[in-house]
Amino acid sequence: MTGTSRIGILLLLLLAGWVVLYYLVFSPIARDDGGPESGVNILESDTVGSNPDEKPPTIENPQRERPADQVPQNSSPSAGAGNGNATNPQAEPKAAEPAVPPPPPTTPYTVRRGETMESIASDWFGAKSKWVLIAHENPLVDPLKLKAGQNLRLPPKDAKIEGIPLDELRRLTRSTKYVVADGDSLWKIAAKFYGNGSLNPLIADANRDVLGRGNDLQIGMELVIPRYQKPAD
């Protein structure tokens, strides 16, 4: 083989190699494969994994609740949680108020014809002077003018007169003072105050300490005229 033939073969080989190199480097297929000349710049932060089912990474919320063993020691309790060592003044139990004993029970009673508070007290308490206890228990009833069929409340039989306020007791038992004049008699005095002279024993009994047993009146003598309780009719 001559030198000219050898040179021709060498040129053909170089041309074939250049065509292959051009095809590999500059062909559109090479650019589509993401080669350096493809012109597509893929940032690493935008890279998506090859697995389509893989979920993108999530950013962890720094405000979410930490485990108990990771809570800082100097962390203050959240608002409204309360402090175990603090006391709530509104939660403290109030001191119990002293119990007020209920009033003693009373007994209903219906007034019968001819009765007075004194006669009822004599039967109920064994002492007619305790009629003021009945009057105190029935403030809307006039003790001087009972009516048959009237309903009363009788206090317990062990009730004490000392339980009545002093002002009320004075009002219930107030009496009239009278100075004996010339020509007076118990009959005339009873007729003057009660409208009935036969009620003179009431005045005599109320003044036994000054009249004595003989009911002797003296001019200028001061008598107590008790309040008269008219029998119920």
- Domain-wise residue ranges, the chain: 107-170, 175-225
Stretch 191-206: mean pLDDT, rounded? Answer: 92
User: pLDDT grade, residue 89 (50/70/90)?
Assistant: low
Architecture of domain 107-170: Roll (3.10)
What distances in angstroms separate CA 40 from CA 21, 27, 115, 221, one per listed residue? 22, 15, 127, 142
- Dist CA 137 CA 93 (whole Å): 39
Q: Does the pLDDT at position 59 exceed 80?
A: no
Single-letter amino acid, residue 165: P
Backbone angles phi, psi at 107, to 5 degrees: -115, 125
Residue 228 DSSP SS3: coil
Architecture of domain 175-225: Roll (3.10)
Among the residue ranges 91-100, 150-159, 176-185, the one predicted with the least confidence is 91-100
Stretch 135-151: mean pLDDT, rounded? Answer: 95
Our separate counts of H helices and E strands in the chain read 8, 4
Top pLDDT among 56 and 219 is at 219
